[in-house]
A = this chain, B = another copy of it.
């Protein structure tokens, strides 16, 4: 920089260094059900403190901090929810996302960022490090349960696009909560869904299938998506939030298995965080890449060109990208 430039503000540096406090404050507020307390009518620090069973000083400082960070509003000493906290952080809202915070901020995941420097050096975590995708990890049951509400809009959008009145056979790989396959089953009265995941997670998917009234058309395969037999004759295979955990060769090998399990003309539907070719926009899919660097051996937020390449290398063609009402992208390709 030329020395004649005026000195910029260091605010962004300190704001970034202290950013960990924002996550901690939101987690604490969710744990204390503070947003729910305000939704229920507590407005002053004293009333919020009584309702959440904390000190008034603690309630006041936490609420002020959440106001600074735009998750509450304050006027004349009274706090209120903003539209985002009313919709997603009060337990009174059907779109409550509080349970997912418990997953996203669990030490098992967060602590990987204590070792980020080593992950940058190596280009990922080692297979024997704290690599969450390396084993039949019980964390995935909690993950599946907590991700369900956030994934509903994408599941409905995908189901709307793939719905059929025919007797289609659908494989839902790494089904998790089951929402993707179940949403498709609800919109396709003759569809048969086969949900694949680790055994402990499948119990949750089956529970959700029953709740949705599609249990008669719902089967499961327990095991590792890379090694278990998929069966064959599928019209549609759902590969949602899966590929970002692995590197390109691993994905291509897995997609070859998907290809083999599909009928001729069958389709694979891939849901992913897909950044633009510049890899630095939009913020959420682009930023997701760092999470995969810190938490997996070779995962990434792949660009459309990269995913199209992985699909093409596995034998797929006619790869199309479809925007969704969420920060993710749906790719559909044909066998």
A50-76 with Cβ < 8 A to chain B: 53-62, 64-65, 67-71, 74
Residues of A in contact (CB 8 Å), total: 85
Q: Return the contact of A10 from the options B19, B65, B88, B119 (Cβ within 8 A).
A: B88
Residues of chain B within 8 A (CB-CB) of A7 are 87, 95
From known contacts A12-B84, A84-B10, A87-B7, infer whether A280 and B68 are also in contact, taking CB-CB under 8 Å: yes
Interface 9-mer from A194-202, A253-261, A263-271, A281-289: A281-289
**CB <8 Å contact, A121 and B5:** no
Mark the stretch among A25-33, A210-218, A221-229, A232-240 that contacts chain B.
A25-33
| List of 6 A-B pairs having minimum Cβ-Cβ separation, nearest first | A55-B123, A58-B120, A24-B113, A57-B123, A19-B22, A19-B19
Q: How far is the CB of A276 from chain B (nearest CB, A)?
A: 11
A305 at interface by CB-CB < 8 Å: no
> Once the chains bind, are B24 and A280 in contact (CB under 8 Å)?
no
Specify which chain B residues have a CB less than 8 angstroms from the CB of A9 in the assembled complex: 84
> Given the complex, which residues of B lie within 8 Å of A278, measured CB to CB?
74
B119 near A58 with CB under 8 A, answer yes
With contacts A19-B19, A278-B74, A280-B67 taken as known, whether A83 is within 8 angstroms of B119 at the C-beta atoms is no
Residue of B nearest to A39 (CB): B1
Interface of A, secondary structure class, is helix
In the complex, A279 Cα to B119 Cα: how many Å? 40
Shortest A205–chain B CB gap in Å is: 24
Given the interface contacts A5-B83, A67-B280, does A21 sit within 8 Å of B58 by beta carbon?
A: no
Q: Does A150 contact B (CB under 8 A)?
A: yes
Interchain CB contact under 8 A, B19 and A55:
no
B23:A116 contact, CB within 8 angstroms: no
Chain B residues within an 8 Å CB radius of A117: 27-28, 31-32
User: CA A68 – CA B31 in complex, angstroms?
Assistant: 29
Q: Which residues of B contact A327 (CB under 8 A)?
A: 11
